[in-house]
Amino acid sequence: MDIGKRRWQWPLTILAGLVAIAAHASGAPEQSLVQRIEALQAGYAVQVLGDAILARQTLQRFYENRGYRLAWAQESRREALADAIERLPRDGLNPADYHGELLQELARRPEATLSDDLIADRDLLFTDAFLLAASHLADGKVNPESIHAEWTLTGRRTDIVPLLTRALDNGSLAQTLQDLRPRNADYLKLVQAREHLSRLLGQPWLPIPDGPSIRPGDTDTRLPVIRRRLIALEDLSANASASSELYDGELEAALPDFQARHGLEPDGIIGRQTLDALNLMPVERIRQIDASLERWRWLPDSLGDTYVLVNIAGFRLQMVRNGKEVLHSRVIVGRPFRQTPVFSDRIRYLVFNPTWTVPRKLMIEDQLPEIQRDPDYLERLGIEVFEGWGADRRKVDPGSVDWDTLSKNRFPYQLVQGPGPKNALGRVKFMFPNRYDVYLHDTPSRYLFGRQERTFSSGCIRVERPFDLAEQLLANDMDWDRQRINDLLATGETTTVVLPIPIPIHIQYWTAWVDEQGHLQFRDDIYHRDGPLINELRHSALADRQLPTPVAVSPTTIAAGRIHKTH
C-alpha cells in the first residue's frame, strides 16, 4: 500500500464559517491531533487515510482524559495492538473492521518517515481500533434488538476508556482485549472449534450429488467422496479407507455420530438431509459458529452460580450448579409462526397439578376450530367453559353455546382445563412471570420428544424431565425431596411452591455449540435468525463511507482534506 497516495485520496473542502478550526498544514503532532478531535466535537466525520473514525464519542473522552497527548508513540504498543487485531478472526471478527491493514502498515513505520499530521492520524487510528475491538469483544458487534425484536437482556456494557488507559500504562494491550471476551467455557470451546475448523478453508469441497439413499451393505460411486468428507470433518478415522465404494461396518459406525452432530436421525442411512449436511461448506459452518459467538457476547459475564439454560435451536435444556451440569433434558419449543422468545428471567415458583387457562389467542385460533369440528372435544379433555372474567365469571354448559356463531370478534368465554393427566401443562409448570407469557412445563404428549426437530408448542417450553428439574430447583430446601414431590402429585390438588431463592433462567438461540464430550454440534436455523445476524457481522461500517460533493468552496482546507460534514 502506498500510504502517501492513500493519505490524499479524499480531497474535500467544507463550507466557509461552519467551523472555527484553524488551518494547520504542519506543526507538532499533538496540535494536529487536537485539530482532528475538535472536528469530531463539531460534528464532522473524520477519515484517516481513507478509513472513517467510528468510536467518535469514546475516542474524544479518551483523549480528553489524557490531556490530548499522543498515546501510540511507542512502537511496542503499536505492534502489540496490530498483532492482537490480526488474531480477531478467532472470535469471528474481521480485522478489516478495525483498520487492520493500516495498523500493520503503520505499526513499524519509522517515525522519521512520517509528517506531524500523519503521526496524529496514526494515533487516532490505533485508538479507534482498540476502542472498537474492545467494545465488540465485550458487548458484541451487532445490536441484538435488530435480530431479536423481543430482546430485553442488558449485557455487560463495559467502559473501555479506563481499560485502554491502564493497558497503555502497563503494556497489557493484547491481554486486555483477550480478557474482554466472554469467560464462559462454552464460548472458549467454540473459539477453539472455529480455529480447528478453519484448517479446511480453501480445501476442495465439491458437492456430493443427489441420488438414491445409501444403506449399510450398498455400493455407490459417491462413497469415496463421502468417506473423504467424513475424514476431513474427523467423524471418520484418518486411517480409514478413503477409496472404497462399499458401505462397510467402519462407515456404519461413524455415520450416526455425524448425523447426531447435525441434529439428524442417527439411522446410518445416507439420504437427502445427510447429504445436505455433508455438503455444508466449511465457511458456512464457520459463519454459524460466528453467529453463536456473537450471541454469547450479548450475555452478561455471569449467568449465575446456579441457572437453567435453554437452547431453542438445540431443543435442549440444561441446569448448571457451580459450573457443573447437574441436569439436561430435551425440550419442545415454539412453532416457526409462534416462536419462543429469547430473554432471561428468574424462576420464582412451581405449580404442581396446574390448571390451564387457555390464552385468548389460542382459544380463538386453536381451540375454537377443534370445538366446532368435534362437539365432544371439551368434555374429552376436561375443559370447562366460563362466561366473563375474574370473580364475576360463571360456569357455562358447553352444550348451551352455539360455537358456530363465535369468532375472534365475538368470544365472551374463558376455557379452563383442570388438573389431570390430560392437562396441556402436564403435572407441573415452572413460572417466571414475563411479558411474553412464556414458561416451562410438563406435557402429556410425550411421544413428541422422540422427534429430532421439536417445534410443536405455542411459544412455551415443554420439558421431557420436568420432575428431575423440579427436584433440582428445590434441592436447597431440606423440606423437599423426590418422594414429597411424588406425594404432592398424587393428591391431584393444585399447589404452588415458591422457591426460597429465585433461579436465573436464560432462553437463548444457538445453532452451533460444543457439547460436554467436546463434539462440535450444528442445528438448523429453525427461526431463520442466523442469516440476518451473519450479514450484520460480515458488514463493515468502514465500507459505508460516502463522501458528499461540496456545495461551496472554503478558502480554508481543514486537516488536509480528510474531514467532511456528517449528514
Q: Hey, what's the cell of 98?
A: 478495525
pLDDT in tens, the chain (567 residues): 454 444 433 333 222 222 333 333 334 889 999 999 999 888 888 888 889 999 999 999 999 999 999 999 999 999 999 999 999 999 999 999 999 999 999 999 988 889 999 999 999 999 999 999 999 999 999 988 877 655 555 555 788 999 999 999 999 999 999 999 999 899 999 999 999 999 999 999 999 999 999 999 999 999 999 999 999 999 999 988 899 999 999 999 999 999 999 999 999 999 999 999 999 999 999 999 999 999 999 998 889 999 999 999 999 999 999 989 999 999 999 999 999 999 999 999 999 999 999 888 898 998 899 999 998 899 999 999 998 777 778 899 988 899 988 888 888 889 999 999 899 999 999 999 999 999 999 999 999 999 999 999 999 999 999 999 999 999 988 789 999 999 999 999 999 999 999 999 999 999 999 999 999 999 999 999 999 999 999 987 665 444 332 222 222 223 333 333 333
Q: Report H helices in 444-522.
A: 466-473, 482-491
Separation of alpha carbons 440 and 446, rounded Å? 15
One-letter identity of residue 457: S
Max Cα-Cα span within the chain: 95
- Choosing from 99, 148, 262, 460, the catalytic residue is 460
Q: Does domain 206-280 fall into CATH 1.20.1300.10?
A: no
| Beta strands in 375-489, from DSSP E residues, in sequence order | 383-387, 394-396, 413-417, 428-431, 440-441, 455-457, 461-463
Those residues whose C-beta lies under 8 Å from the C-beta of residue 186, and which sit 6 or more positions away, are 296, 513, 514
Q: What letter does residue 207 receive in the DSSP assignment?
A: P
Q: Hey, what's the cell of 259?
A: 448425523
Q: How big is the chain, counted in residues?
A: 567
Query: Cβ(127)–Cβ(164) under 8 Å?
Result: yes
- Choosing from 136, 262, 441, 506, the catalytic residue is 441
Domain boundaries, the chain: 3-180+545-565, 206-280, 356-417
Q: Hey, what's the cell of 318?
A: 440444561
Phi, psi of 304 (to 5 degrees): 120, 155
Q: Hey, what's the cell of 413?
A: 368465554
How confident is the model at residue 151, as a pLDDT?
58
- Known catalytic residue at 136: no
Query: Cβ(342)–Cβ(508) under 8 Å?
Result: yes
Query: Cβ(560)–Cβ(70) under 8 Å?
Result: no
Distances, alpha carbon 390 to alpha carbons 122, 313, 357, 395, 420, in Å: 68, 37, 12, 12, 23
Query: Cβ(317)–Cβ(310) under 8 Å?
Result: yes
Query: Cβ(512)–Cβ(522) under 8 Å?
Result: yes
- b/e string for 83-100 if b means 16 or more Cβ within 10 A? ebbeebbebbbbbebbbb
- Known catalytic residue at 460: yes
pTM over 0.75: yes
Distances, alpha carbon 474 to alpha carbons 134, 439, 465, 493, in Å: 40, 17, 15, 19
How confident is the model at residue 154, as a pLDDT?
55
Query: Cβ(431)–Cβ(410) under 8 Å?
Result: no
Query: Cβ(215)–Cβ(247) under 8 Å?
Result: yes
Q: Hey, what's the cell of 566?
A: 456528517
The SS3 assignment for 252 reads helix
